[in-house]
Amino acid sequence: MVTTESHQSQDLMVPAEIQDLSLNLEMEGEEQASPSSPSAAFDPEKFSQGPVNAITVLTLLDKLVNMLDAVQDNQNKMEVHQVQMEGVVRGIQADMTRLSKSHSHTSNTVSKLLDKSRKLSVTMKEVRERMERQGAQVKKLEANHAHLISRNNFKVLIFQVGVT
């Protein structure tokens, strides 16, 4: 996680090399300012360069601080956005799980319906075959009946089961 500690609570550590360099520059500046030194003449260019550099450094540091604050704000916004996106992704995953279960249930139901349809089709085919056979038998009986009527020759046979 990114720390939300602001830059104002952080200590600025200056490396020892820079501290030694600033002490050497101060000592050289004192030597040049002493009246016994032949190079003690006032150099306005060097003098004006110091404060401008300090102001420039402070300005740059201020800009850097503002940039760091902006980066930290952006990071915080990105973290919030990331958390929101994780919630959305979890919701989508839950929806996909429900959809998958629903699809599985629908698939099972369709499979059962197809099986029933196949069984019904087989049964219908068997019934049709029986009906066709019965239709053929009825046609034979009708033809036989018509033939008998045309001959007008009827014989009635009565069978009696013997009583013992």
User: How far is Cα 15 from Cα 21, in angstroms, rounded to an integer?
Assistant: 10
Contact 2, 75 (CB under 8 A): yes
pLDDT per residue rounded down to tens, the chain (164 residues): 444 455 555 444 444 555 554 555 555 544 444 444 444 444 545 545 556 688 888 899 999 999 999 999 999 999 999 999 999 999 999 999 999 999 999 999 999 999 999 999 999 999 999 999 999 999 999 998 888 777 776 666 677 776 65
Q: What's this model's pTM, rounded to 2 decimal places?
A: 0.42
Cα 6 → chain centroid: 34
The answer to whether the CB of 2 falls within 8 A of the CB of 72 is yes
Q: Which residues of 59-71 are buried (b: 16+ CB within 10 A; e: fewer)?
A: eeeeeeeeeeeee
